[in-house]
Amino acid sequence: MNNDTLVESYKLGRRLALDNFEKTAFLGAALTGGKFLLGMGNLGRAGSMASRISTHHIGMPLGFGAIGALTADEGKRMEGFAGGFIGGLGFNLGMSAGGAIGKRLFSPFGRGAKGLKRMGFEDDASSLIQASRVANKNLNKVRRRMDSGNFNASTSMEYVDDALKGSGVDVARLPADLAKQLQTLKQTAGSVTPANMKQFANQLSEFTGNLAKQGVGMGSASAQAMYRGSRMAKNIGGIVGGIGVGMAADHALRGVIETPPSSIYSTNYNKPWGH
């Protein structure tokens, strides 16, 4: 094989590599942008200024606005965007409030330690389950910020510690595997960077999930069945309530901006002249 053939092979391989890199970069950027507009992701690298300002509170309204502009009639693009934007803001707020309402309506008897005891769980089991619930409640509030690298790992670890103490869990009496997992999390928290914050958040969720599993496993078969049924109902209620109230808020706020097209069937046109 002569030098000319080697040079041509090199050029061909380089061109193919560049083409593949450009396509991958474009698809990656398009996927990131699409997730942001759907309220499911942040722009930029973890912990950057771009990721801090590109929250779902901004992404979802922009996404709704873009859809509104694309589906609007010619000449009403701006109105369609404005209606979609304010509707997206309403959907964000309505989904949060509706989810909370739906959870209470669908699972009214399984709340707190008293609810767990009514299901048949003893004090030790109730404490573990309740600690998992409290920790997850606080972690879920900041989960988006954790996933985007914009939260403090030590603070998230404090949520878990406070939940354990507040629920009366004796850390010294935790099963060996849970105690080891907790110790590892505490040692890791001080060295977590924005880039691996999401991974640390997943490890926290795994630990709190194991807390709940340990507590549920200590209950009777009937108590476990009631707990799983209550949890399923709560999840369904959160989804139904969140989507329902979110869509209602979107529709109500969108109507303030958007104007319906005129029609010969409008009551204004059916009134006699002069009335």
Q: pLDDT (tens digit, 9 = 90+) per residue, 198-233?
A: 999 999 999 999 999 999 999 899 989 988 888 888
Query: What would the DSSP string read from start to end of 52-86?
Result: HH--HHHHHHHHHHHHHHHHSPTT-HHHHHHHHHH
pLDDT band at 51 (very low <50, low <70, confident <90, very high): confident
Q: Shortest CA distance to 114 belongs to which of 102, 99, 101, 129?
A: 129
| Neighbour count for residue 263 (Cβ, 10 Å) | 9
Residue 80 amino acid letter: G
Residue 40 amino acid letter: M
Do residues 56 and 40 make contact, with C-beta atoms less than 8 angstroms apart? yes
Q: Shortest CA distance to 99 belongs to which of 137, 62, 59?
A: 137
Between the alpha carbon of residue 269 and those of residues 258, 260, 265, the distances in Å are 21, 15, 7
Task: List, for residues 15-35, the tens digit of each pLDDT value.
Answer: 655 555 555 544 445 565 566
Do residues 91 and 249 make contact, with C-beta atoms less than 8 angstroms apart? yes
Q: Shortest CA distance to 112 belongs to which of 165, 166, 160, 172?
A: 166
Strands (E), the chain: none
Is residue 249 within a helix (H) or strand (E), and if so which, with residue range?
A: helix 221-257
Do residues 113 and 126 make contact, with C-beta atoms less than 8 angstroms apart? yes
pTM of the model: 0.70
What would the two tokens of residue 127 be? 């404490």
| Neighbour count for residue 144 (Cβ, 10 Å) | 18
Delimit the domains of the chain by residue range: 33-108+242-259, 122-218
Whole-angstrom distance, CA of residue 268 vs CA of residue 266: 5
The C-alpha angle 217, 218, 224, rounded to 5 degrees, equals 55
Q: Is the pLDDT of residue 41 over 80?
A: no
Task: List, for residues 107-116, the tens digit of each pLDDT value.
Answer: 776 677 788 8
Task: List, for residues 52-108, the tens digit of each pLDDT value.
Answer: 776 777 777 888 888 877 887 787 878 888 888 888 888 888 888 888 888 888 877
